[in-house]
Amino acid sequence: MLLKKRSRVKNAWKLIIPAEFSSESYVIRTSPVVLGCSGHCDIVIKDPSVAESHIQFVLVSQGKFLEIYSLAGDSGEGPRTMLDGGAVEKTRIKAVGDKFFTLKAGNVHLRLMYAPVRDSSSVPSGRAAPRVPQVQWFFLHGGVEYGPMTESALARAFARKELLPLDDVWHSGLDRPMRAYEMPALLHDGSRLSKKKAEPWGKLRCPCCWHNFLIEDVMYISRHPDLTGDPVLGSEEPLRFLPRDLKPVRRALDSRGEVCSEMACPRCHLRIPTPFIDTVPLFLSIIGIPGSGKSYYLASATWRLRKILPRYFNISFEDIDNMTNQWLNAYEEALFFARDRDEYHVIEKTQIEASGLSRQVKINNITMLLPQPAIFTLVSKSHGGNDGDTPMPSGNMPLPVRTLAVYDNAGEHFQTGQDVIEKPGTLHMLHAHGFIFLFDPTADPRFGSVIDQGGRDGIAATVYQQQKIVIETMDRVRKYTGLNVTDKVKKPVVAGLSKFDLLQGYFAGKGIKWSDPPIKWIKRGEAAALDMSLVRMVSDHIREFFYELSPEYVNTIESFAHEVVYLPVSAIGHQPGTRGVNTGDVNPLWVEVPFLYILSRHGHIRSAGQDISNRGRSMSAGQDILNRGQSMSAGQDISSHDRKASPGQSLLNHGEIGSGKMLNHGDIESGKR
Amino acid sequence: MGTSGFTTVAHTEGMPVRYIALCESLSGYTYIYPLGHPKYHLNPVCYSHHRVDVNGTILSVISSVMPCGRDYTGRENKIAHHVVLESRDMVPCGPAWAMMHGSFFMENWNQPPSLLAPGRIKLPGTDVMKESHYAGTWNDEFGDAGTAGVLARWALEQPGIPSFKLYDPEKTSSILALAVESMVLLPPEKRWTTTFSTCFFSKPMDSDCLWRFCPVISRPGARPWHGEWVISPWKILRLYSRQEV
């Protein structure tokens, strides 16, 4: 389909150059295009009146507009670049069929028009994968050449993600390599996984502006120091460009001949880490009022996931690169890298305009602040059971490699009136694969009576109806996705009871003790699973607690989503004092569980016990939890703990939920990375 | 206009919405010393002058953004006060002088959100300006008054190339005075085209920032400078205090 589309006649900007300089006109297909007398330029006009780099053309809105920048300055005898008789420094012209624009570079007269042209960039049929069994293929991935192999072996490599869409593939009959995504055979035959769960190859989503674009539209970031000044990012940023000639190992040449490897979104021009382009992303939205502890939670949760996922689920959880996650690394260092136990640190209140968390861009002449996500790679260390052939216990078919993007928004950003085009930073919620709402009990006076006496003194006197945040989220999701008012989001939603350390005394008074995360070994030392039965039981208790004190919150959040679990979390295990967090006392509680739950719902980690989604609306108030949990997964003696679990008993104490396969407390400690 | 609790709490009556959005985008502040740090009070005030093209009109925005105790959640607060000026408002003494001697920036806001009366702020005119060209603050702080002229010369000769001035906020607190003394050396018509920030971390999208005074510190508990950092081909001036020299 791609090849067919490319071979048709379509309109494009055409620059007609005098015959003494060129025998043919130049079609502006990529952006930017530089005209000048230097041999480095895209359009070379050897005339003494033309500057080395004289004019830059930039396509806007798929060529509906053309921006013309004069790079030549003023000669002292008048402007050196003229358009339709007027001097030009920077201008934008609209594509109008059959209309000529006269352009003058120095003393050279040019004509510019938007006219039908045959797309010479169409890939010759010979370049597509010829289905000849004898052909031996090669591909280049990570600087390593693989092959020779048959086409079906190539497809298998593609399915296993050993060969990625931007990798070069070739065989002896090709005059130059092609990219893997240009092979329809790979797309149709090789990516069974992507057809089932993932977004189709070739379609990418920017983690900063969430623009959906084709892989062939990925821009590269210039490296030559002369090529600064980007129309979207500002005068000091390296220019972004669409490559015409790709070099092996995903490199492109900028217009000054430097090899470039960093890639960027074609809309917002912000850098996209290369592994993000190669993988299918998961987006997570963490939502809460100002002061609900989102930044602390995020830092604490990711820190714990770095330990938990490799250790129990055989999944590595790493920063996608050293640059992207700097702000989150700084959070983690503040909480977990204390030189001594008496150090105090704080995580700064998140500002919408914070320089590390957002970037200003200019799109469609609107200056807007786009968020900078933290991105992690999730790589299944052994594909055992997860290579696409074996479904997970949940029945899902996970991918061996994914990326996880999370955002740290200011609480004010979720409030009514903040959804403006200049600050689209919360729109990740439209693409989120899961939501974590953090409920701050200290901002609801009805929770005052259940908060531990010792914790009440240091609490700021804030009051906020937190269902408003959920309503605002619903509004935004419905507004942008066209969701009907009666429709519910079919994504996992976690209602996190934040600052749970303040409520431990209350729950202890009811005989419910705090204990380890709900993880149990399937095979000790080799494979663990999220104990969904325990998650469910805890969720029922927290929901009951919520319903008693803040029923409108429960009603609102359950009108938003089909599937809500209620989980307690405490990012640091105590309340920070006026000096900040005593790093020696940091003891996160269940912070990783909402993440694990969402990952399990998407089939990326194993779960054991009854699937919550099968219970329908069983989480309603007052229902007897003893009647649930009838159908456990094979080999799990969980029904026994269901019999034991009743209100007033220690539901969170693993020792009482005895299949003997639970983790000991010492298995998961909050230590250094 | 000012912000408190990280939302706009006051603006001049009749101010275009686009100006408000512009000012909010200039209200970011990076705390060098976090709340609770013994040196929290040494967080520098960020005075800045930016020039912005809004629908073909060149505006000057002079701003002060500074820490302001705790907000309603008990965390660090800031107050940002911006004054948007059109060409007729630009007095000859220049933006740095006007900010230093105008005394119009608010340092706190304890009232409900409200509208401010138009024409409330009058910038000091030429008559109050002492056209002294002696850079006493440069001399006192760094032992060389001539450095003021270096900045002025750079601004005149290469107005498109920004320069970075790295300073230690524990040793140098009068950054605005340094900017004033350098700006005084410029011809009056050049003063309002010279943009600057006394606590530079990142350049706003819509404005240049020619003189970038960057607080640099690497002591325990202080936040490292992690702004965008491109050295070549721009100019770097590391400011050592008199004692260090």
ipTM, 2 decimals? Answer: 0.75
- Nearest Cα of chain A lies from the Cα of B119 at a distance, in angstroms, of 28
**Closest-CA residue in chain A for B210?**
A236
What is the CA A205 to chain-centroid distance, rounded? 8
Taking an 8 Å cut-off on Cβ atoms, the answer to whether A410 and B35 are in contact is: no
Taking an 8 Å cut-off on Cβ atoms, the answer to whether B226 and A330 are in contact is: yes
**Strand partners for A361:** A368
Task: Please list, residue by residue across A447-461, b when 16 or more beta carbons sit within 10 angstroms of its beta carbon and e when fewer do.
Answer: beebbeeebeeebee
- Nearest Cα of chain B lies from the Cα of A289 at a distance, in angstroms, of 10
**Residue B66: predicted pLDDT:** 93
CA distances from A177 to A154, A168, B79 (A): 14, 6, 57
CA distances from A575 to A348, A586, B105 (A): 15, 10, 35
Q: Which of A235, A346, A355 sits opposite B28 (nearest CB)?
A: A355
Does A338 contact chain B (CB < 8 Å)? no
- Nearest Cα of chain A lies from the Cα of B28 at a distance, in angstroms, of 5
Integer Cα distance of B201 and B213 in angstroms: 9
Integer Cα distance of A278 and A249 in angstroms: 13
* Series of mean pLDDT values for 10-residue runs along chain A (673 residues): 48 86 81 77 82 82 83 69 86 82 89 76 37 61 72 79 79 70 64 40 82 86 89 88 69 83 93 87 91 91 94 91 89 82 75 77 87 91 49 44 88 82 86 93 88 70 84 89 84 93 86 80 83 91 93 94 93 80 84 94 83 42 29 30 32 33 34 32
Q: Among A422, A308, A303, which Cα is nearest to A369's?
A: A422
Q: Which of A348, A362, A367 sits opposite B31 (nearest CB)?
A: A348
Tell me the three state secondary structure of residue B79.
Answer: strand
Q: Which of B73, B77, B233 sits opposite A225 (nearest CB)?
A: B233
Q: Which of A234, A369, A580 sits opposite B34 (nearest CB)?
A: A580
| Residues A275/A321, Cβ–Cβ less than 8 Å | yes
| Residues B60/B95, Cβ–Cβ less than 8 Å | yes
Integer Cα distance of B227 and A514 in angstroms: 42
Tokens of B123: 């910038």
Q: Which of B71, B220, B232 sits opposite A349 (nearest CB)?
A: B71
Integer Cα distance of B52 and B62 in angstroms: 11
Chain A contacts of B25, Cβ < 8 Å? 353, 360, 367, 369, 422
**Residue A612: predicted pLDDT:** 53
**Residue A358: predicted pLDDT:** 85
Taking an 8 Å cut-off on Cβ atoms, the answer to whether A462 and B73 are in contact is: yes
Q: Which of B28, B70, B221 sits opposite A354 (nearest CB)?
A: B28
Going through B98-222 in order, the beta strands assigned E by DSSP cover: 114-116, 163-167, 196-197, 211-215
Range in A503-517, A573-587, B184-198, B230-244 the model is least confident about: B230-244
Tokens of A194: 């992507």
Phi, psi for residue A411 in degrees, rounded to 5: -60, -35
Touching B: A residues 437-466, CB under 8 Å: 460, 462
CA distances from A327 to A22, B77, B137 (A): 51, 20, 36
Integer Cα distance of B94 and B183 in angstroms: 7
Work out the end-to-end distance of chain B between its first and last CA atoms, rounded to an integer number of angstroms.
Answer: 41
Phi, psi for residue A559 in degrees, rounded to 5: -85, -10
Which of A346, A359, A444 should one mutate to test binding to chain B, selecting the residue with the greatest count of B CBs within 10 A? A346
**Residue A247: predicted pLDDT:** 57
**Closest-CA residue in chain A for B221?**
A345
Maximum distance among all alpha carbons in chain B? 51
Does A242 contact chain B (CB < 8 Å)? no
Taking an 8 Å cut-off on Cβ atoms, the answer to whether B36 and A460 are in contact is: no
Does A387 contact chain B (CB < 8 Å)? no
Touching B: A residues 345-364, CB under 8 Å: 345-346, 348-349, 351-356, 360-362
Q: Which residue in this structure is represented by tokens 């390599």?
A: A177
Q: What one-character DSSP code corresponds to residue A150?
A: -
Q: What is the pTM of this model?
A: 0.68
Task: Please list, residue by residue across A375-391, b when 16 or more beta carbons sit within 10 angstroms of its beta carbon and e when fewer do.
Answer: bbbbbbeebeebbbeee
Taking an 8 Å cut-off on Cβ atoms, the answer to whether B35 and A346 are in contact is: yes
Statement: residue B56 has pLDDT above 90: no
Integer Cα distance of B13 and B116 in angstroms: 6
Integer Cα distance of A327 and A356 in angstroms: 6
Tokens of B47: 């005075």
Taking an 8 Å cut-off on Cβ atoms, the answer to whether A353 and B25 are in contact is: yes
User: Taking all residues of chain B, what is their mean pLDDT, rounded to a whole number?
Assistant: 81
- Nearest Cα of chain B lies from the Cα of A493 at a distance, in angstroms, of 26
**Residue A73: predicted pLDDT:** 67
Expressed in percent and rounded to 5, the helix, strand and coil fractions of chain B are: 25, 25, 50
Q: Which of A233, A412, A578 sits opposite B7 (nearest CB)?
A: A412
**Closest-CA residue in chain A for B7?**
A412
Integer Cα distance of A602 and A303 in angstroms: 21
Expressed in percent and rounded to 5, the helix, strand and coil fractions of chain A are: 25, 25, 45
Range in A400-409, B111-120, B173-182, B214-223 the model is least confident about: B214-223
Taking an 8 Å cut-off on Cβ atoms, the answer to whether A410 and B208 are in contact is: no
Chain A contacts of B7, Cβ < 8 Å? 412
Q: Among A238, A65, A487, A421, which Cα is nearest to B232's?
A: A238
Q: Residue B237 — pLDDT band, cuts 50, 70, 90?
A: low
Q: Which of B6, B202, B223 sits opposite A351 (nearest CB)?
A: B6
Chain A contacts of B28, Cβ < 8 Å? 351, 353-355
**Host H or E run for residue A368:** strand A366-371
Chain B contacts of A462, Cβ < 8 Å? 72-73
Task: Please list, residue by residue across A590-625, b when 16 or more beta carbons sit within 10 angstroms of its beta carbon and e when fewer do.
Answer: bbbbbbbbbbbbbbbbbbbbbbbeeeeeebeeeeeb
**Residue A4: predicted pLDDT:** 40
Q: Which residue in this structure is represented by tokens 């309109």?
A: A11
Which of B73, B199, B200 should one mutate to test binding to chain A, selecting the residue with the greatest count of A CBs within 10 A? B73
| Residues B199/B46, Cβ–Cβ less than 8 Å | yes
**Host H or E run for residue A146:** strand A144-149
The total of other beta-carbon atoms located within 10 Å of residue A206's CB is 23
**Residue A30: predicted pLDDT:** 77
Burial of A124 (0-12, 13-18, 19+ CB in 10 A): exposed
- Nearest Cα of chain B lies from the Cα of A257 at a distance, in angstroms, of 20
Q: Which residues, at least 6 apart from A9, have a Cβ–Cβ distance to it below 8 Å?
A: A116, A117, A118, A119
Tell me the three state secondary structure of residue A139.
Answer: strand
**Residue A666: predicted pLDDT:** 32
Which of B75, B76, B161 should one mutate to test binding to chain A, selecting the residue with the greatest count of A CBs within 10 A? B75
Range in A616-625, B59-68, B131-140 the model is least confident about: A616-625
Tell me the three state secondary structure of residue B133.
Answer: coil
**Residue B76: predicted pLDDT:** 81
Integer Cα distance of A413 and A596 in angstroms: 26
